[in-house]
Amino acid sequence: MSQTAREGEIVSTASDAAIEVRSLHKSFGSLEVLKGIDFHVGKGEVVCVIGPSGSGKSTLLRCINLLETPTSGKVWVSGEDVTDPDVDIDAVRRSIGMVFQQFNLFPHLSVLENLTIAQRRVLRRSKTDAEAVARTNLERVGLADKMASFPAQLSGGQAQRAAIARSLSMGPDLMLFDEPTSALDPELVGDVLEVMRGLAADGMTMMVVTHEMSFAREVADRVVFMDDGTIVEEGRPEAVLGAPQHPRTRDFLARVLNPSRRVSLPARDPASG
C-alpha cells in the first residue's frame, strides 16, 4: 500500500523534472562506476556536476541519453522513462542536446552541413529550412562567417561553439555538456563559456560536467559534487563551493583552486602563500 503511494509520488516528480535519476548503478565489468545515484534537474535549471576524474560524472551524464546503458536504476527525461526497454531511444535523443569534450564535429562535412545533416535525416526538414535554422544558431554562437569552413580549419573554441550550435539546431529541451572546455587552450575557454552563459540566461535546461569552478559559481542554480560513484554533496553554488560541508568536497576544492599547494595542511596556508 505505502509502496504504491511511493511509486505514484516518484512518477509525479519525474514528470515535473527535465531529468530524474533513481538509484542508478553502472558497472563496467567488475568496476562499479556509479553506486546508486539519485539526481534530478528541474526544467530551466542549470546544474553543474563537479568532482575528481574517475568519480563517475561523465558516466552519469552519458547514462541520461543512453550512450551508456545503466546496469540498474531508472532514468526519466521530460517524464519519459528512457530505461524502459520499449522506449524509442532515437526519439528521446532528439530532445537532448549533447556536447562532448572532443567536440566530435563531423570532419568530412562543412560547418553548415554539420548543423543540417541531422535536421534533414532525423527531423526531415527541407534543405532551406535546415539551413535557415543552422544560420540562426551559428549567429547565436558567433560563427556566422565560418559556415563554409571545415572542422579542421576551426580553432578548438570555434569547433566547440559549432558543436553547441549543431545540438541547438535540433531544438533540444535540455542540453548535456561533458567537460566542454577541458580540451581547449586556456585562452579559448572564455568564448565557449560565454555561449553557455547565454544559453543559461535564455532559460535552457542544462547539466554541465565541468572543472570550471568560476562558471559553476556564477551560472549554476545547483552544484553537485560527486566522488567515487556517489553524490557526496549538492546545493546552491555558494554553499557547495563557498562553504563545503563534507571533507571530501573541501579536499577536492582545495586541490582544484590551489593546485600548486599541498592540501590538508590548512594552518600553514596563509603565511607561506
Residue ranges binding other proteins (CB under 8 A): 65, 67, 90-91, 93-94, 96-98, 100, 102, 104-108, 117-118, 121-123, 152, 163, 166-167, 170
Chain CA centroid to CA 39, Å: 13
What secondary structure, in 3-state letters, does the chain show?
CHHHHHHHHHHHHHHHEEEEEEEEEEEECCEEEEEEEEEEEECCCEEEEECCCCCCHHHHHHHHCCCCCCCEEEEEECCEECCCCCCCHHHHHHCEEEECCCCCCCCCCCHHHHHHHHHHHCCCCCHHHHHHHHHHHHHHCCCHHHCCCCHHHCCHHHHHHHHHHHHHCCCCCEEEEECCCCCCCHHHHHHHHHHHHHHHHCCCEEEEECCCHHHHHHHCCEEEEEECCEEEEEECHHHHHHCCCCHHHHHHHHHHHCCCCCCCCHHHHHHHC
CB of 162 to other proteins, least distance (A): 12
**106 vs 217, which CB is nearer to other proteins?**
106
CB of 130 to other proteins, least distance (A): 12
Q: Are 219 and 177 in contact (CB under 8 A)?
A: no
CB of 105 to other proteins, least distance (A): 8
CB of 65 to other proteins, least distance (A): 6
CB of 208 to other proteins, least distance (A): 16
CB of 102 to other proteins, least distance (A): 5
Tell me the chain's radius of gyration from C-alpha atoms. 20
Length in residues, the chain:
273
Q: Are 225 and 243 in contact (CB under 8 A)?
A: no
**76 vs 100, which CB is nearer to other proteins?**
100
CB of 116 to other proteins, least distance (A): 11
**65 vs 249, which CB is nearer to other proteins?**
65
Backbone phi and psi for residue 114, each to the nearest 5 degrees, phi listed first: -55, -40
**56 vs 244, which CB is nearer to other proteins?**
56
